[in-house]
Amino acid sequence: MIYLDYQATTPVAPEVARAMQPWIEEKFANPHSPSRWGHEAEAAIEVARKQVDKAIGLRGGSVAFTGSATEALNWALKGTVEKAATSRKSGRNRIITVATEHAAVLDTCEWLAGQGVDLTILPVQKDGRLDLDLLARELDKRVLLVAVMQVNNEIGVTQPISEIAKMAHDAGALMLCDAVQAFGRMELCSGPDLVAVSAHKIHGSKGIGALWMKKGAEPAPFIHGGGQERGLRSGTLSPELCVGFGAAAKLADERLTRDYDHVEKLWKAAVAALGPGWVINGSTAHRYYGNLNIRREGVDGARLLADFRDIAFSLGSACASGSGRPSHVLRALGLDYRQARSSIRLGFGRYTTQKELTDACRRIAANAHAQEKLDA
Ligand code: PLP
């Protein structure tokens, strides 16, 4: 099995599994109970919180654990709207986001629009980047929040988050960044007030994410109950998931440059192994290099996927794959239906070897070539 689907999820690091184990097998106390065991679990969670905060690397804020980045994004969007509706910012009821955002942002924004929020979804340019002049024209004093991701999950293209945050702030708005695909893989851009991250994209476990909140920008409480997470997000925290997330974040932080350089080398090797005839979807200059989304005239991506049962890769985003819906991101780049259908995404990272990647690329290229010949 050659695993080339690092945007969907990543293998759990051995260090993470080892860190989690005692909290699964022996240390089962509720971290919110006053017993000695409870305090021990609580202390371990606080260490993990610091590790995640350090890896995020932004100043003046705090981390709240959530069940996923999807939850963190729902909370950030809905909680910010709710808070504004009951505070002095109540004159602001407009959200600006971008057509290539993840469904966790787009669908939540659409839901909010159904509740009366004024929603603007900006298009992107052919290379997947947001036109900042367009954003500047849209920013006015009704804008409450600007939501833009750092690295796109489907095409790997990066957005100029610090500039966008500055523009949002100059207009008196807040900035939310979906940093799920950037966190632990490249440095996070400074500037946003709210940042969503997920453990399972950085060799942690599924089932835990976090929302980083700048002091003063905390959204209204999202889940009500026992008052955990400073009353903002109730629910018993899982020590094993938090400890695992902390270990994954620490490891990613320590290895950031090494992993990034490794990924850049892999990208170059993959492009060379694929050979001519492929077009890279999205900017080649502004990107995270562990995401290679490519298309080739006359190729059926789904057929490629079916032909290679021993190579895990993807057609579009993990969420859209299998739904039969053409990718909204590829359509936002201006690709037609056939071009979108001929696109595949290869995702690689820390544990991918150059040999397995180039072997997979050569086999995929040969199969695509054979498809072309057959159809000609
Ligand atoms: N945002 C982006 C860019 C993603 O890639 C994903 C996961 O695919 C999410 C949000 C949702 O993350 P989670 O799986 O933690 O809910």
Q: What is the pLDDT of residues 74-92, one digit of tens each?
A: 999 999 999 999 886 568 9
- Per-residue confidence (pLDDT) for residue 89, from 0 to 100: 55
Q: Residue-wise over 107-128: b if at least 16 C-beta within 10 A, else e?
A: ebbeebeeeebebbbbebeebb
d(CA 71, CA 74): 5
> How far does residue 108's CA lie from ligand 1's centre (Å)?
13
Hey, is 269 helix, strand or coil?
Answer: helix
**CA-wise closest residue to 174 among 61, 293, 287:** 61
d(CA 264, CA 248): 21
d(CA 23, CA 25): 6
DSSP state of 201: G
- Per-residue confidence (pLDDT) for residue 375, from 0 to 100: 74
Q: Which of 66, 77, 180, 203 to mutate to test the pocket of ligand 1 (most atoms within 8 A of CB)?
A: 180
| Helix, strand and coil in the chain, % to nearest 5 | 45, 15, 40
Which positions of the chain have pLDDT values less than 50? 317-319
Paired strand residues for 122: 98
Structure tokens at 1: 């099995």
- Per-residue confidence (pLDDT) for residue 315, from 0 to 100: 87
Hey, is 233 helix, strand or coil?
Answer: strand
Cβ neighbors of 276 (< 8 A, separation 6 or more) are none
Please report, for residues 15, 257, 271, 288, 351, the alpha-carbon distance to residue 263 in angstroms, rounded to integers and kept in the order given: 20, 10, 12, 9, 10
d(CA 30, CA 41): 7
pTM of the shown model: 0.97
d(CA 38, CA 9): 31
- Per-residue confidence (pLDDT) for residue 90, from 0 to 100: 67
> How far does residue 9's CA lie from ligand 1's centre (Å)?
9
- Per-residue confidence (pLDDT) for residue 277, from 0 to 100: 94
**CA-wise closest residue to 212 among 53, 50, 102, 54:** 53
**CA-wise closest residue to 365 among 280, 292, 273:** 273
- Per-residue confidence (pLDDT) for residue 223, from 0 to 100: 95
> How far does residue 105's CA lie from ligand 1's centre (Å)?
10
Instruction: Kindly name the residue from 109, 177, 189, 319 that is annotated as catalytic.
Output: 319
Paired strand residues for 294: 280, 344
Residue 340 one-letter amino acid: A
Task: Output the residue whose Cα is nearest ligand 1's atom 5.
Answer: 153
Q: What ligand 1 atom has the least distance to the C-alpha of 149?
A: 3
Residue 18 one-letter amino acid: R
Measured from the Cβ of residue 361, the count of other Cβ atoms closer than 10 Å reads 24
Q: What ligand 1 atom has the least distance to the C-alpha of 70?
A: 16
Chain position carrying tokens 């999205």: 282
> How far does residue 177's CA lie from ligand 1's centre (Å)?
12
DSSP state of 256: H
Residue 368 one-letter amino acid: A
Q: For residue 361, indicate whether it is catalytic.
A: no
Q: Which of 198, 288, 293 to mutate to test the pocket of ligand 1 (most atoms within 8 A of CB)?
A: 198
- Per-residue confidence (pLDDT) for residue 318, from 0 to 100: 43
Condensed to tens digits (0 to 9), the pLDDT of residues 12-56 reads: 999 999 999 999 999 999 999 999 999 999 999 999 999 999 999
- Per-residue confidence (pLDDT) for residue 323, from 0 to 100: 62
